[in-house]
Homo-oligomer: A and B are copies of this chain.
Amino acid sequence: MQNFIFDNKTTIIFGKDTQSQVGLETKKYGKTVLLHFGGGSIKASGLYDEVVHSLKKEGLKIVELGGVKPNPRLSLVKEGIKLCIDQKIDFILAVGGGSVIDSAKAIAIGAKYEGDVWDFFTGKAEIKVSLPLGVVLTIPAAGSEASTGCVITNEDGWYKRSCGSVLIRPQYAIMNPVLTYTLPSYQTACGATDMIAHVMERYFTNELDVDFTDHLCEVTIKTIMKHTKIVLKDPSHYATRAELMWAGTIAHNGLLGTGRIEDWGSHDIEHELSGIYDIAHGAGLAIVFPAWMKYVYKHDVNRFVQFAHRVFNVDIDFNNPESTALEGIHKLQSFLSEIGLPTSLKDVNIPSDRLEEMAKKATESNSLGNFVKLHEKDVLAILQIAAE
């Protein structure tokens, strides 16, 4: 087990009607709030009105910035930073899913930085200070509500890049499972896949002595798979929406990675896909992760056998452990198909003509991943498997 620091400061306020507490929570951090959100869904659902009412009740001044798109864009982040400076914003409130939260995080660090906020995403600058931010979560998926990470897409070249720091963990996350009842099936399935991928990026490690977190990872994946299947049949099932929502936070708040060297190769490869083709991140992961698994499993067959056996109850073939490992990958792909996700680039009409370009772009600064270090040729091979 590696030495680690686990620093988990986000206060989770979970359950029915919790959005009414947003004003009281926000008041702890300042008087002028940037209310950041996406499209019209929070207005249609009435959530926007509830949030504004709660903030106004506590006498808070609201500055609005809507319009966050999936795979959130740098241009809107820059608009938000300007607003924060001009309007002397104390606190950023993200109402939405991972894209809105990540956009809010980028604004929060950019507003306190004199240079170009993109510097944080290229490694030119390190996060040293941030405006505080809070979240009312409407999409369980990205885990950004309690994570240290942030992913933004720069339209200039369609680079999708990440940065991270404990300083951008939200101060609080309000999580009401009822707010997720209206999520379409496809988005629910994409969210579940993102959660599972967050666990798997931690699970596939070369660290041997991580028995406790291995088991925590396995039951988290199993919980997500089980409840995704239930919720796709019964979208307004409170208990199941709640299990998914809470598991999504734990999948990515850092606990499951304690003591491990995490991988993140599949996420980085997927960022090339959704950066260029603007597909849902979860759909991209459903395509890339199994391809990555097929490419790397021989590096540590035992770990893939463990995954197959413990997560999917695959009988271990002791005479042929490779077949057990492959059966686990096959079971994961079957699950992804079952919940309606693509498992090949063909399924989302992405042609093979830019695979080389993506492989080159993904590795232009560094190799990807840790379980196996991936160079340009490896990323290309994985994308080719994904294209099959």
Instruction: Give A contacts to B, CB under 8 Å.
Output: 1-9, 11-16, 18, 208-209, 211-212, 215-216, 218-220, 222-223, 226-227, 238-239, 242-243, 246-247, 250, 255, 258-259
Contact = CB atoms under 8 A, between A and B. Distances in A.
B11 A6 contact: yes
Given A212-B247, A216-B216, A223-B211, A14 B18 contact: no
A246 B259 contact: yes
Given A3-B15, A11-B5, A227 B247 contact: no
Given A1-B15, A5-B12, A222 B215 contact: yes
A212 B246 contact: yes
A361 to B, nearest CB: 36
A228 to B, nearest CB: 13
A255 B219 CA distance: 15
Copies in the assembly, this chain: 2
10 contacts: A1-B246, A4-B12, A4-B15, A5-B14, A6-B11, A212-B219, A212-B223, A212-B247, A215-B219, A242-B259
Nearest to A247: B212
B11 A4 contact: no
A223 to B, nearest CB: 4
A80 to B, nearest CB: 28
B6 A243 contact: no
A226 B239 contact: no
A70 to B, nearest CB: 26
Contacts of A8: 8-9
Contacts of A6: 11-12, 14
Contacts of A222: 215
Contacts of A13: 5
A69 to B, nearest CB: 31
Contacts of A220: 212, 216
Contact of A239 (B1, B4, B246, B247): B1
A239 B246 CA distance: 29
Nearest to A9: B9
Nearest to A7: B11
Contacts of A216: 216, 219-220
A318 B226 CA distance: 23
Given A5-B12, A215-B222, A216-B219, 9 more contacts: A1-B15, A3-B18, A6-B11, A209-B239, A211-B243, A212-B220, A212-B243, A216-B216, A242-B259
A195 B12 CA distance: 24
A231 to B, nearest CB: 12
Contacts of A208: 239
A3 B14 contact: yes
Contacts of A242: 1, 209, 259
Nearest to A240: B209
Nearest to A217: B219
Contacts of A250: 212, 255
A7 B146 CA distance: 11
Nearest to A253: B8
Give the most central of A12, A212, A216, A223: most B CB within 10 Å.
Answer: A212
